[in-house]
Amino acid sequence: MATSFLWNCTKKFVSASIITVTVSDRYVTVIPVRGGSMSPTFNPKSGSLMEYVFDDYVLVEKFCLGKYKFSHGDVVVFRSPLNHKETHIKRIASLPGEWFSTYHNSDVVQIPLGHCWVEGDNAASSIDSKSFGPIPLGLIRGRVTHVVWPPQRIGAVKSIHRKDWLSFRIPTIVWPP
């Protein structure tokens, strides 16, 4: 009797684990944010001791890998183009086919087909497309929608288009029309 109870418990535990793993892989998961490249959105390192010691945790949704069209200001999780074993979190600044520049330099980059330009909110300390160029959208593993830890900053992550980003499409002129 005791062994069949234990067996039932084990079966339920294994089923629950497998369902959790599947949901975490395909639909939604929670991950920690390391480093200060997205400060002050994540890990602002200001104020309480709690914030200094513990990393932020965020909710990442993976429905966006299906039919969703990424937009400016989305915060995404992606595999690093320099090391496929690392993942990073940055904000999308520019989409395929657009021309991108910032106020800080006079270079203008055209984003190739299937790629995007990502930047960290903390421009001073962020390894992003400024270093490794535009990244293929195929490297994106999910989109950050909410902060879930620490409790005082629980809330949605807004899709902000930063004011110092200049991103524009050059319309194709067909002549004669």
Q: Is 69 in the site for a copy of itself (CB under 8 A)?
A: no
Residues noted as catalytic: 37, 90
Q: Is 9 in the site for a copy of itself (CB under 8 A)?
A: no
Which of 20, 28, 21 has its CA nearest to residue 143? Answer: 28
End-to-end CA gap in the chain: 83
Give the range of 29-37, 52-60, 110-118, 150-158 binding a copy of itself by CB under 8 A: 110-118
Q: Is 28 in the site for a copy of itself (CB under 8 A)?
A: no
Is residue 134 within 8 Å of 140, Cβ to Cβ?
no
Residues 83-102 that bind a copy of itself (CB under 8 A): 83-84
d(CA 136, CA 117): 9
Q: Is 76 in the site for a copy of itself (CB under 8 A)?
A: no
Choice from 28, 137, 148, 160 touching a copy of itself (CB under 8 A):
137
C-beta atoms surrounding 17 within 10 Å: 10
Give the range of 29-37, 45-53, 98-106, 129-137 binding a copy of itself by CB under 8 A: 129-137
Q: Cβ of residue 79: shortest distance to a copy of itself, in angstroms?
A: 3
**How far, CA to CA in Å, does 76 sit from each of 1, 39, 58, 167?**
50, 15, 11, 18
Nearer CB in complex with a copy of itself: 109/123: 109
Is residue 167 within 8 Å of 94, Cβ to Cβ?
yes
Q: Give the burial class of 105: count Cβ atoms within 10 A of its Cβ; 0-12 exposed, 13-18 middle, 19 or more buried.
A: exposed
Choice from 15, 71, 110, 125 touching a copy of itself (CB under 8 A):
15
- Residues near a copy of itself (CB under 8 A) are 15, 18-19, 21-22, 25-26, 78-84, 112-115, 135-140
